[in-house]
């Protein structure tokens, strides 16, 4: 009876919302057909499934793309005055669904709505010849929703209603899995959403960044990172803080009109190769001046990579107690300065690149200046 630690652990690890990871991320866009081409040609995603009029879905078209464990769904409405058209008119292209892979969608829905989550979709089980998938959804910040997806032995391309399709031939860039998804919320809302993830979804607060960590001459923001029990799902939440001029978070909110997903970080095992390929295919990244690399090794210590390719590709490096990480951020991937991607390679580090915030935000400010929104 000495081993009280085990008992403690048993109690504290009781997880009412066990998550297996990110199931998929659905973007509502203006022209899913062309977006699908962009993600295939430029990022090397494989088109695996489609739903639309040809499959019996009369009001929309959805393209399912996959690379490694990263799965995107791109959806457009086929008519005006439709939930998706209205969403697109207000927000532009953006993330509607952060779908979480669960073993029990009904229980996930019940446990979260019982704790105060607003229901977005009651549990429903979809069936076809490949098996069944149960889905349910709850609201989170802005108009974003979390879908719970339960795939009990489903062997089809995506889920019932979708048909497997053969897309164009693609060259993957090395995307492995979704590392984290960041949300921007309005001033004063960050703590409420952190509380939502803690109370309603059983997440734990991992890290807090205040405006002393993250401020430049102009931009200031606050950020808190929440994580689910096993750490597979991490959601940093940002809110603007008072700066001299308009912060990047305010710029996002001005264009997205509500809170929403700011960036999706995708993990790779070889960032030099991944970013080299993406650059070749025309993907634009934030520019950090060459002098960032002058004292890099003094700041981060020994790293396995050569500095030259990192400098050439503009890849950033940061270290924490457990190791280091390499990261880079794309420019926004639509005309509105809203959603963008981060490419990240972790070499032990579990953090988010705090040491790079200043260099990065100065880079973002240079771009805001060009857009006239600073
Ligand atoms: Fe990030």
CATH code of 80's domain: 3.10.180.10
Residue 196 inside a domain? The answer is yes
Domain-located, residue 60: yes
Write down the pLDDT at residue 253. Answer: 96
Kindly state whether residue 4 falls inside one of the protein's structural domains.
Answer: no
**Rounded Cα–Cα distance for residues 113 and 305 (Å):** 47
The Cβ of residue 167 has, within 10 Å, a number of other Cβ atoms equal to 19
189 in the same domain as 209: yes
- In angstroms, what is the span from residue 79 Cα to ligand 1's centroid? 35
Do both 296 and 253 map to the same domain?
yes
Distance 321 CA to ligand 1 centre (A): 18
The pLDDT tens digits of the residues spanning 108-162 come to 999 999 999 999 999 999 999 999 999 999 999 999 999 999 998 899 999 999 9
Q: Are residues 160 and 268 in the same domain?
A: no
- Residue-number span of the structural domain to which 122 is assigned: 21-164
Measured in Å, residue 15 CA sits from the centre of ligand 1 at 25
Does 246 share its domain with 148? no
Query: Is residue 201 a part of any domain in this protein?
Result: yes
Pair 180, 133 in one domain: no
Which helix or strand (DSSP H or E) is residue 195 part of? helix 190-199
Confidence band for 5, pLDDT divided at 50, 70 and 90: very low
pLDDT band at 221 (very low <50, low <70, confident <90, very high): confident
How far, in Å, is the centroid of ligand 1 from the Cα of 238? 11
With the C-alpha atoms ordered 35, 38, 41, 44, is the resulting torsion angle positive or negative? negative
The alpha carbon of 182 and the centre of ligand 1 are apart by a number of angstroms equal to 6
Do 281 and 140 lie in one domain? The reply is no
Distance 59 CA to ligand 1 centre (A): 34
Asked, for residue 308, whether it belongs to a domain, the answer is yes
Residue 279 lies in a domain: yes
Give yes or no: residues 158 and 223 share one domain: no
117 alpha carbon – ligand 1 mean position (Å)? 25
Among 164, 194, 214, residue at a domain's last position = 164
Q: How many domains does the chain have?
A: 2
Q: Name residues whose C-beta falls within 8 Å of residue 212's C-beta, 6 or more positions apart in sequence.
A: none
CA 37 vs CA 42, 63, 67, 168, 295: distances in Å: 8, 10, 14, 9, 40
Q: 9 falls in which pLDDT band (50, 70, 90)?
A: very low
Q: Of 111, 130, 164, which one is at a domain's C-terminal end?
A: 164
Name the strand (E) or helix (H) holding 328.
strand 323-329
CB under 5 Å of ion ligand 1: residues:
265, 342
Strand partners, 320: 323
CA of 356 to the centre of ligand 1 (A): 11
Position 7 in a domain: no
pTM (predicted TM-score): 0.93
Report how far ligand 1's centroid is from the alpha carbon of 298 (Å): 23
190 & 339 share domain: yes
């Amino acid at each position: 009876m000495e081993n009280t630690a085990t008992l403690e652990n048993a109690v504290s690890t009781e997880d009412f919302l066990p998550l297996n990871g990110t199931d998929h991320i659905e973007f509502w866009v203006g022209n899913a057909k062309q977006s699908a081409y962009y993600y295939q040609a430029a990022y090397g995603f494989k088109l695996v499934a489609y739903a639309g009029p040809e499959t019996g879905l009369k009001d929309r078209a959805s393209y399912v793309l996959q690379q490694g464990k990263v799965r995107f769904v791109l959806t457009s409405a086929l008519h005006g005055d439709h939930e998706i058209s209205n969403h697109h008119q207000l927000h532009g292209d953006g993330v509607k669904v952060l779908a979480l892979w669960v073993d029990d969608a009904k229980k996930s829905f019940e446990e979260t709505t019982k704790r105060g989550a607003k229901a977005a979709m009651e549990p429903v089980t979809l069936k076809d010849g490949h098996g069944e998938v149960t889905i349910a959804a709850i609201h989170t910040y802005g108009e974003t929703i979390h879908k719970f997806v339960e795939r009990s032995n489903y062997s089809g391309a995506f889920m019932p209603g979708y048909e497997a399709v053969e897309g164009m031939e693609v060259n993957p860039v090395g995307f492995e899995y979704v590392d984290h998804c960041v949300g921007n919320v309005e001033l004063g809302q960050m703590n409420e959403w952190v509380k939502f993830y803690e109370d309603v979804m059983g997440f734990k607060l991992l890290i807090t960044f205040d405006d002393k960590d993250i401020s430049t001459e102009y931009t200031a923001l606050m950020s808190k990172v929440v994580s689910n029990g096993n750490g597979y799902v991490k959601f940093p939440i940002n809110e603007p803080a008072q700066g001299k001029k308009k912060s990047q978070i305010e710029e996002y909110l001005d264009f997205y009109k509500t809170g929403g997903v700011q960036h999706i970080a995708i993990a790779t095992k070889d960032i030099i190769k991944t970013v080299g390929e993406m650059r070749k295919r025309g993907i634009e990244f934030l520019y950090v001046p060459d002098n960032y690399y002058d004292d890099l090794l003094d700041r981060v210590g020994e790293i396995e990579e050569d500095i030259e390719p990192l400098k050439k590709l503009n890849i950033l490096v940061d270290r924490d107690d457990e190791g280091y990480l390499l990261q880079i951020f794309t420019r926004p991937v639509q005309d509105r300065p809203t959603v963008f991607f981060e490419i990240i390679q972790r070499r032990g580090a579990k953090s988010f690149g705090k040491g790079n915030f200043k260099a990065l935000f100065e880079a973002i400010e240079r771009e805001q200046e060009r857009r006239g929104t600073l």
